[in-house]
Amino acid sequence: MPIAIKDIFCTRGVKTTCSSRMLANFVPPYDSTVVKRLKDAGAVILGKLNMDEFAMGSSTENSAFFKTLNPWDTSCVPGGSSGGSAAAVAAGLCAASIGTDTGGSIRQPASFCGVVGLKPTYGRVSRYGMIAFASSLDQGGPITKDVTDAAMLLNVMAGSDPLDSTSVDAPVPDYARGLKDGVKGLKIGIPKEYFIEGLDREVEGAVNGAIDALKASGAETVGVSLPHTEYAVGVYYLVATAEASSNLARYDGVKYGLRVDNAAGLLGMYRATRDRGFGAEVKRRIMLGTYSLSAGYYDAYYKKASEVRTLVKRDFDEAFKKCDVILTPTSPTAAFRLGEKVADPLTMYLSDIFTISCNLAGIPGMSLPCGFTSKGLPIGLQLLGRPMDEATLLRAAYTYEQGAGWHKKRPAL
């Protein structure tokens, strides 16, 4: 299978830049575990894919090198931060790709580009050799043309890894085996907090159509509540930026990456290197994270956010007592236009409002196509599952996909 890799995974002998000037010439001496497992399974690695710098963004407009375009409409963004991964699959440049998801960075671009994107349970896929953004949230996963390919790739990628202390030592089932088992009797939770004011009418209509299709296939729907959803974006942008502030401290011009030598003294070199190496969005998040971890503010911001994160996780625990899978829109809208939200970071952050809670809770989630807008842009359906239960997610997704057939549509290039 010819596969392309998001440029956040280390690839031996091939540049790994994270779409940042800081790592513009970095060539790793080793492969990440995900890349090694793919190679061992016979995958052909075609190359590396563009992304938002250090995976910080929702549109792939934060790349230090170039903007990626949406194959369905080149005036629109492909989503982010795995925009290159989703666009490459949608455009047929590769059979599948690998992305990462910290707050929706696999699922949102999959939604915008009309492909399938799967974020596994935290710890299901090794993070060794995957350049860190927020270590308690990051997870790698496949972006594919259909659900079957996603199951096949997860079979290869999943499993414990002694090189990653956060990977979970749990059995890996054959995800492709149960795809055709159907959804008869499966209980699908519909959270009221995800069908809110501001949700695009065409998106809501397509998602409601998917609910009806699954019910017609034998699934049951139940109402569930996730009451702390409204706090998810605020919690995420405290936890994620705090961890980014810590993780990105290593880029100081000393060990690897960019080094500005004509600065005055050691501190001058640090300052000049980080100023030139990091883009505006990365700097913004480092400053937010450093502030929330600083003396006098830690309890009010980072600690409080961590406590609310636990409440978000408990919401899902309670909801899954009533259902097997939770169904929501992936994003409030279809793909927006290039440059539309660049000057308004808060509006950009809110494009991930439906995907962030999944990462905070550490549960698996996926996006698959469920229709198109009147302008011909793809609409994504999100399914969320219990921890380590990717198999049920894939089965529900496959049942809907085979009946709906949206995965067969391709952009006219």
d(CA 120, CA 140): 7
- pLDDT tens-digit readout, 193-249: 999 888 999 999 999 999 999 999 999 999 999 999 999 999 999 999 999 999 999
Which is catalytic among the residues 32, 58, 63, 81? 81
Complete DSSP assignment for 188-232 = EEEEGGGS-TT--HHHHHHHHHHHHHHHHTT-EEEEE--GGGGGH
Confidence grade of residue 350 (pLDDT, cut at 50, 70, 90): confident
Cβ neighbours for 294, distance < 8 A, ≥ 6 positions apart: none
Residue 81 bears catalytic tag: yes
d(CA 117, CA 106): 6
Which is catalytic among the residues 82, 105, 167, 292? 105
The pLDDT assigned to 196 comes to 87
Residue 399 domain-assigned (yes or no): yes
**Rg value, the chain, Cα:** 20
Residue 272 belongs to a domain with what CATH number?
3.90.1300.10
For CA atoms 270, 271, 273, 274, the dihedral sign is positive
| Residues 164, 110 contacting (CB under 8 angstroms) | no
Confidence grade of residue 340 (pLDDT, cut at 50, 70, 90): very high
Residue 201 domain-assigned (yes or no): yes
Q: Which of 376, 369, 304 is nearest to 331 (CA)?
A: 369
The helix (H) or strand (E) run that includes residue 6 is strand 2-6
The helix (H) or strand (E) run that includes residue 113 is helix 107-113
- pLDDT tens-digit readout, 59-97: 999 999 999 999 999 999 999 999 999 999 999 999 999
> Chain-centre distance of CA 85, in angstroms?
11
Cβ neighbours for 70, distance < 8 A, ≥ 6 positions apart: 76, 77, 78, 79, 87, 90, 112, 113, 335, 377
Supply 45's token pair: 């690695």
Could you tell me the residue range of the domain that residue 91 belongs to? 2-408
Confidence grade of residue 334 (pLDDT, cut at 50, 70, 90): very high
Give the mean model confidence (pLDDT) for residues 313-328: 98
Contacts 24+ apart (CB under 8 A), 137-140: 137/102, 137/103, 137/236, 137/239, 137/240, 137/243, 137/359, 137/360, 138/55, 138/100, 138/101, 138/102, 139/100, 139/101, 139/102, 139/359, 140/9, 140/34, 140/98, 140/99, 140/100, 140/101
Residue 88 domain-assigned (yes or no): yes
Asked whether the predicted pLDDT for residue 263 surpasses 90, the reply is no
- pLDDT tens-digit readout, 145-161: 999 999 999 999 999 99
Q: Which DSSP letter does residue 9 get?
A: B
3-state secondary structure 276-329: HHCCHHHHHHHHHHHHHHCCCCCHHHHHHHHHHHHHHHHHHHHHCCCCCEEEEE
Give the mean model confidence (pLDDT) for residues 101-107: 98
Chain position carrying tokens 């969005």 = 281
Residue 235 phi/psi, 5° resolution? -65, -45
Share of the chain above pLDDT 90, in %: 95
Buried/exposed 347-380: b ≥16 CB within 10 Å, e otherwise: ebbbbbbbbbbbbbbbbbbbbbbbbbbeeebbbb
The pLDDT assigned to 345 comes to 84
Residue 374 bears catalytic tag: no
| CB atoms inside a 10 Å sphere around CB 406 | 21
d(CA 59, CA 71): 14
Least confident of 53-67, 70-84, 256-270, 368-382: 256-270
Reported as half-sphere exposure (CB side, CA atoms, 13 A), residue 25 has a value of 5
Asked whether the predicted pLDDT for residue 23 surpasses 90, the reply is yes
Residue 200 domain-assigned (yes or no): yes
Residue 369 domain-assigned (yes or no): yes
**Is the peptide bond preceding residue 97 cis, with omega within 30 degrees of 0?**
no
Please give the model's pTM, rounded to 2 decimal places. 0.97
d(CA 304, CA 208): 35
Q: Which DSSP letter does residue 123 get?
A: T
Total domains, the chain: 1
Which is catalytic among the residues 6, 48, 119, 341? 6
Residue 328 domain-assigned (yes or no): yes
Residue 304 bears catalytic tag: no
Residue 413 domain-assigned (yes or no): no
Residue 24 domain-assigned (yes or no): yes
Give the mean model confidence (pLDDT) for residues 332-342: 95
Cβ neighbours for 244, distance < 8 A, ≥ 6 positions apart: 54, 56, 133, 134, 282, 285, 286, 289
Give the mean model confidence (pLDDT) for residues 318-329: 98
